[in-house]
Amino acid sequence: MPETPSFQSPTGTRDFYPVEAARRRFITEAWRRASILHGFEEVDGPIFEHLELYTVKSGEEIVADLFSFTRKGAEKTYALRPEFTPTLARLYATKANSLPKPTKWFTAGPFFRAERPQRGRLREFLQWNVDLLGDASPAADAEIIATCVSLLRGLGLTAQDVRVKINHRKALAEWLTQRGLPIDRQPALLKLLDNKGKMPPAEFAKEIAAFGFAPEQAEVFQKGLIRVTIDERTPTGAPADTVVDVTYFSEAITPLARELAAAGVLDWVDFDLSIVRGLAYYTGMVFEVHEASGAERAIAGGGRYDNLVELFGGPPTPAVGFGMGDVVLALVLQDRKLMPEDPKLMEVAGQRPDVFVLSNGTPEAEAQVKPLVGLLRARNLHTRHTYRQTRNVGKLLEEAVKLRARFAVIVETGTTATVKSLETGQQTPPVPIPDVAKLVGG
């Protein structure tokens, strides 16, 4: 054999040592909790799908961004899933007749993109998807946004840390038409708006002028805020000089704003003319969640896609949903010091020991350590013992403290042990070994 090869994880993928795995679980459990609070049920599909599931939705140009593969002798091409929506549409289309109305589903798992990795973007990442199918109402749009806000709030973020930026594709198109921009030129403008963050303001102003907008209108797109009137209330953060004519938006957005107010999340929301979302399939409300300073990529994004289920052979089905990746979210949490410190993280992940068992070092006591460990584990207690040779009680108690065990149990004889709380320091007198379990919560 030649020299031992150097083994590394593939570019853009991650190894998860215990702290990183606990951090991942901290995020995925928060996703799960927010989903369940709002009555969404978990679903999932395969990690790889037939390639055509993605080309049907996104066209052949998506193939370059996918990890795809074939099997020798098989006619099918597979691809690692880059997103969940096509799988979701397939799941729904397959059982549409027997599913509840509305159907509320979430999923969280690994997804893959064959792009060059960069800050906030990896080749393998986790994504949370939340979708509500079978309800075309603004209340459904609001429920999706409220679920996203529940997640953000549940992690300790506030409406000052992050903003939910909402727009409406249909209303935007009507407004642009009314201002004289022909429908066939609108996709180019949407693309320009979508790239706004990536270009200098002067260049953006110049390009927007080419669509027939005056400089002060360019500024409106730049700042992007729409005034929405609900019961005389102006949305948070919309200075008067950046407000545009609302005629074409009020019909689309005011009912949504009312629902967001009823759900208690309107304070998190800006109505922003410049949010378009890259994907072509959105048909109504679209939104993105951004760190307030605009420092990172979008934390989440989604919207209404009323035509997609039909594309996958299902009945016409209104649908609204969003996706959130783990990478940008973790950057924002770390930046705001909301990611727990390592020991706390292990505890949140359920990995803090309940009990550490040791003996006073006599042979008859030592012989009882392993049986007691087995007994406590059979009672569902996370139980540890030393792997070191030492029988020094002081050193072993130090090990228990370092592991952050809640209790130390010191076997004193062949039949008795004392229980010491490592949180209060209190210690029991010797008790019969079979009584230990209930003293430590088992």
Residues 316-335 that bind its own copies (CB under 8 A): none
**Cβ-based nearer residue to its own copies, 45 or 361:** 45
The piece of 70-78, 182-190, 410-418, 422-430 that touches its own copies (CB under 8 A) is: 70-78
Residue 137's Cβ-side half-sphere holds a number of Cα atoms within 13 Å equal to 9
Closest distance to its own copies from the beta carbon of 110 (Å): 5
CB 357 within 8 A of CB 385: yes
Contact positions with its own copies (CB under 8 A) in 10-29: 10, 13-18, 21-22, 24-25
Q: Does 59 bind its own copies (CB under 8 A)?
A: no
Sign of CA dihedral 115, 120, 123, 128: negative
Site string for its own copies, 271-310 (x = CB under 8 A): ----------------------------------------
CB 134 within 8 A of CB 96: no
CA pair distance 398, 404, nearest whole angstrom:
10
**Binder of its own copies out of 84, 148, 153, 293 (CB under 8 A):** 153
CA pair distance 405, 203, nearest whole angstrom:
59
**Cβ-based nearer residue to its own copies, 69 or 239:** 69
**Cβ-based nearer residue to its own copies, 214 or 338:** 338
Contact positions with its own copies (CB under 8 A) in 126-145: 135, 139
Contact positions with its own copies (CB under 8 A) in 344-363: 346, 349-351, 353
**Cβ-based nearer residue to its own copies, 223 or 379:** 379
Closest distance to its own copies from the beta carbon of 438 (Å): 17
The piece of 156-164, 261-269, 409-417, 424-432 that touches its own copies (CB under 8 A) is: 261-269
Closest distance to its own copies from the beta carbon of 53 (Å): 6
Alpha-carbon separation of residue 79 from 47, 73, 183, 315 (angstroms): 9, 17, 35, 26
Task: Report which of 157, 167, 161, 291 is spatially closest to residue 228, judged by C-alpha positions.
Answer: 167
Closest distance to its own copies from the beta carbon of 167 (Å): 23
CA pair distance 45, 364, nearest whole angstrom:
54
Q: Does 124 bind its own copies (CB under 8 A)?
A: yes
Q: How many residues bind its own copies (CB under 8 A)?
A: 90
CA pair distance 231, 28, nearest whole angstrom:
38
Closest distance to its own copies from the beta carbon of 253 (Å): 18
Closest distance to its own copies from the beta carbon of 154 (Å): 8
**Binder of its own copies out of 4, 97, 118, 426 (CB under 8 A):** 4
Strand partners, 288: 165, 301
Q: 146 by DSSP, 3-state: which?
A: helix
Asked, as a colleague might, if the bond just before 316 is cis with ω within 30 of 0, I would say no
CB 80 within 8 A of CB 121: no
Strand partners, 47: none
Burial of 17 (0-12, 13-18, 19+ CB in 10 A): exposed
**Cβ-based nearer residue to its own copies, 43 or 246:** 43
Residue 438's Cβ-side half-sphere holds a number of Cα atoms within 13 Å equal to 4
What type of residue sits at position 346? M
Closest distance to its own copies from the beta carbon of 298 (Å): 24
CB 189 within 8 A of CB 242: no
**Cβ-based nearer residue to its own copies, 275 or 373:** 373
Closest distance to its own copies from the beta carbon of 91 (Å): 6
Contact positions with its own copies (CB under 8 A) in 85-104: 87, 90-91, 93-95, 101-102
**Cβ-based nearer residue to its own copies, 50 or 121:** 50
Q: Does 121 bind its own copies (CB under 8 A)?
A: no
**Cβ-based nearer residue to its own copies, 129 or 167:** 129
Contact positions with its own copies (CB under 8 A) in 381-440: 381-384, 387
Closest distance to its own copies from the beta carbon of 372 (Å): 10
Write out the DSSP string of 293-346.
Answer: T--SS-SEEEEE-TTHHHHTTS----EEEEEEEHHHHHHHHHHTT-SPPHHHHH
Task: Report which of 170, 163, 409 is spatially closest to residue 295, judged by C-alpha positions.
Answer: 163
**Binder of its own copies out of 96, 205, 311, 431 (CB under 8 A):** 311
